[in-house]
A = this chain, B = another copy of it.
Amino acid sequence: MLDTESLTTDALCRSILKRHRETIAVQKPDFAVRKLNVIITAALKISNRKGFHAMSLRDLAEESGVSMGGLYAYFDSKTTLLRMILGEVSSVVEQVLSDPPPEVAGDPLNHLKWLIATHVRLTEAMLPWFSFAFIEAKNFPPLERRMAVDSEERTEQYFAEVINSGIKNGCFDPDTSPLIAALVKPLLQDWYVKRAKYRRRKVTVEAYIEAVVRLITSACLGSGVVPHRVV
């Protein structure tokens, strides 16, 4: 369904360490990963409560149990910490969505369903990371902002491609609105942006996937009756 082994905080921190080896002063990987885990978990916790900008490094030091100066063995500026998290999120999204299982690869309808389900499950497994990325991407340096916009655009591309190939295949309505691919994204984002609301209403992951799949596929399958194709 979705390999959640590589999505544990530990695995993600190992990946972050690999990506930022030169800016992380700590040598021994065991030390580094363990502390990175603690630091990033704390950073996500505080940021998701009051925002990254409002989180001071003293807040972070207290919550993580790592001293002020100790933090700077793991990043050289607060912005680098931001970049570590955002970078990891867009890397994972790319990695997961670009690799559909063989049984859906040739079938646009099932591929579309798979994209939706996998995206929702991925964001569920990495909830604090995605909340963070969504909320913080807006108000930050041009470079980081671009990273987020590009990552999102790439995600939309996956949907656009599968919908287009479905139209060419003949299994999707050729009149499908070209905006559908763009409109899938906010539907998927709502799951983690407003997670508290859905939790309160006891909406399960499966129910949410089902609702989005029905909404989107029915738009792609046309008016519901057998299409006037087959020229």
| Chain A positions near chain B (C-beta within 8 angstroms) | 50-51, 53-54, 135, 138-140, 149, 153, 177, 179-180, 182-183, 185-187, 189-190, 193-194, 197-198, 203, 207-208, 210-212, 214-215, 218-219, 222-225
CB of B190 within 8 A of CB of A183, answer yes
Bound-complex Cα distance A218 to B198 (A): 24
Q: Can you show 21 pairs from A to B with CB atoms below 8 A apart?
A: A50-B140, A135-B138, A149-B197, A177-B215, A179-B203, A179-B207, A179-B208, A182-B197, A182-B198, A183-B187, A183-B190, A183-B215, A186-B186, A186-B187, A186-B190, A186-B193, A215-B215, A215-B219, A218-B219, A223-B224, A224-B225
A-B contact sample (9 more), CB < 8 A, given A50-B140, A215-B215: A51-B138, A179-B203, A182-B197, A182-B198, A186-B193, A186-B194, A222-B224, A223-B224, A225-B225
Query: Could you tell me the distance in whole angstroms from the C-beta of A156 to the nearest C-beta in chain B?
Result: 9
Q: What residue of chain B has the Cβ atom nearest to residue A223's Cβ? A: B224
Q: Which residues of B are found within 8 Å of A53, using beta-carbon distances?
A: 51, 53-54, 139
